[in-house]
Amino acid sequence: MSVHDEQKRAAARRALELVEPGMLLGIGSGTTARFFIEALGERVAEGLRVSAVATSRESEELARRLGIVVVDDPLQPIDLAVDGADEIDPQLRLIKGHGGALFREKLVASSARRFIVIADASKLARRLGQTFVPVEILPFLWRQTARRLAGLGADVRLRAGQDTPYVTDNGNFILDLTFTGGIEDPEGVAAAIKATTGVLEHGLFLGLATGAIVAEVEGLRILGSLS
């Protein structure tokens, strides 16, 4: 296992300490979230009783294989959501969705009483936009949507699958937006993207994370609050 993976596993196991019996959990997608789901599965095998809402089909399938009860449309709010991030800035603003599950990830994060991010230190950024912002869009007239988003000053690329465009679990396309020099005004950019006709959701997660567990070589660092 690589050093980054060891760090991610350490962050995931620290997040597991926040889980209490009877909780409804939001479980994320991606490699870091996978470590959390696997650790949660170990606790469930030991007798812990919880249920979970999964942000992707892949995470749902893994959770079910590990004996975790998965629900699709719970009546109660989510007690705790745990997920990774692609970028984290000092204000706990995030870019998520490089794995393609941003729409469901944002729904879960927005529905949770607490949203905790787990990551290794490579995901920390002084300014968001060091990589790219994924945007889930309707396939219908997608080129027109791409032109509108390019008007925001971004380089816009349709995410490719194996032989055809990448298709999300919701049956939509993803456009990846790159902003040269990063994003100076994340709130303004988020509002402009969301207001673009054809856009369903974007990967800027602003004001959603309550805390972050960041694994560094020296140990774990806590940003924000875990309580």
Catalytic residue numbers? Answer: 105
* Rounded-to-integer distance, Cα 158 and Cα 161, Å: 10
User: Which one, of 110, 102, 164, 162, lies nearest residue 137 by Cα?
Assistant: 102
162, with CB counted inside 10 A (0-12, 13-18, 19+), is: exposed
Q: In sequence order, what are the beta bridge partners of 70?
A: 52
